[in-house]
């Protein structure tokens, strides 16, 4: 986990660099400008990006453009259309991990988590700190959180509010295993099970997103068409906003048709970092 902690610490500077690049896009800042803004020498900025993603800042910048986002949309469209000829029941993959989903029944929703035990805890990822919740039936909760006492307390309170009658048990070991399974390149590829709680339409949207693999992006309009309702772009956006499982249900891969990344409940700079990191990793 030491490598994840180091990459987690590097992410704060990466996010700061992304915000600077976006706010000064017309001036097209140089690497020296970016390094000065984040308080590092160009050499140290180079080393930081190498630690975080194994790439240079220059290569990262090449992928952090609207033109690149538009190219992702174009290349992904045909792939997704072909995938959906077999329906939404097919398995999705994230980082080569097979994902299977189990939906919470309406009866279980009404029980408010009564009889359910959730092991939860906090951990470091290359994109910031997360709170993770797991059950015997699968992972049910994964959200980014700020690394301060107030934010951590709020994150636990939100998990309790979602499952008010469930038994919550802090277990950092379970969380460490889940995060290591997600991000370690050397982990054995065991299936990841998710426990989804949402309406039928929301679950349909989330299952559709499992077909959007790392290095791909999809527009709200295309995603609405894939789930069978091309005019339901706003409803699709609402379903994405209700997603409780970041990364694995990859709502960060949905962008606007004009190539802008749009909003993300955990910060637009994090969304851009995720998209760029995945694009570079998928097309080395």
Catalytic residue numbers read 251
* Bridge partners (DSSP) listed for residue 132: 121, 142
Contact predicate 92/185, CB 8 Å: no
CA 236 to chain centroid, in Å, comes to 17
Which stretches of the chain are assigned E, i.e. beta strand?
92-94, 97-103, 117-125, 128-135, 138-145, 167-170, 192-196, 218-219, 254-255
Contact predicate 198/242, CB 8 Å: yes
| Distance from C-alpha of 267 to C-alpha of 37, rounded to nearest angstrom | 20
| Distance from C-alpha of 253 to C-alpha of 243, rounded to nearest angstrom | 13
Neighbours of 49 (CB within 10 A): 22
Neighbours of 2 (CB within 10 A): 7
Residue with tokens 């005019």: 231
Which among 202, 182, 190 has a CA at the least distance from the CA of 251?
202
Burial, 36: exposed, middle or buried (Cβ in 10 Å; 0-12, 13-18, 19+)?
middle
């Amino acid at each position: 986990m030491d490598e994840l902690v180091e990459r987690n610490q590097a992410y704060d500077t990466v996010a700061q660099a992304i915000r600077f690049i976006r706010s000064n896009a017309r001036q097209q800042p140089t690497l020296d400008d970016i390094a000065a803004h984040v308080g590092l020498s160009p050499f140290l900025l180079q080393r930081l990006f190498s630690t975080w993603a194994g790439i240079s800042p220059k290569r990262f910048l090449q992928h952090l453009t609207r033109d690149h986002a538009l190219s992702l949309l174009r290349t992904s469209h045909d792939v997704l259309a072909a995938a959906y000829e077999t329906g939404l029941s097919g398995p999705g993959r994230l980082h080569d991990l097979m994902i299977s989903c189990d939906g919470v029944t309406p009866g279980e929703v009404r029980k408010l988590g009564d009889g359910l035990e959730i092991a939860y805890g906090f951990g470091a990822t290359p994109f910031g700190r997360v709170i993770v919740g797991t059950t015997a039936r699968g992972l049910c909760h994964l959200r980014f959180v700020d690394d301060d006492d107030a934010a951590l307390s709020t994150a636990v309170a939100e998990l309790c509010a979602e499952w008010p009658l469930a038994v919550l048990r802090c277990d950092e070991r379970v969380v460490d295993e889940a995060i290591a399974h997600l991000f370690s390149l050397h982990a054995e590829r065991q299936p990841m099970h998710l426990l989804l709680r949402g309406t039928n339409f929301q679950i349909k949207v989330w299952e559709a997103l499992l077909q959007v693999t790392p290095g791909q992006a999809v527009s709200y309009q295309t995603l609405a068409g894939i789930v069978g309702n091309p005019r339901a772009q706003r409803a699709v956006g609402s379903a994405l906003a209700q997603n409780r499982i970041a990364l694995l249900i990859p709502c960060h891969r949905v962008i606007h048709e004009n190539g802008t990344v749009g909003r993300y409940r955990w910060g637009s700079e994090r969304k851009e970092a995720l998209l760029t990191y995945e694009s570079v990793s998928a097309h080395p």
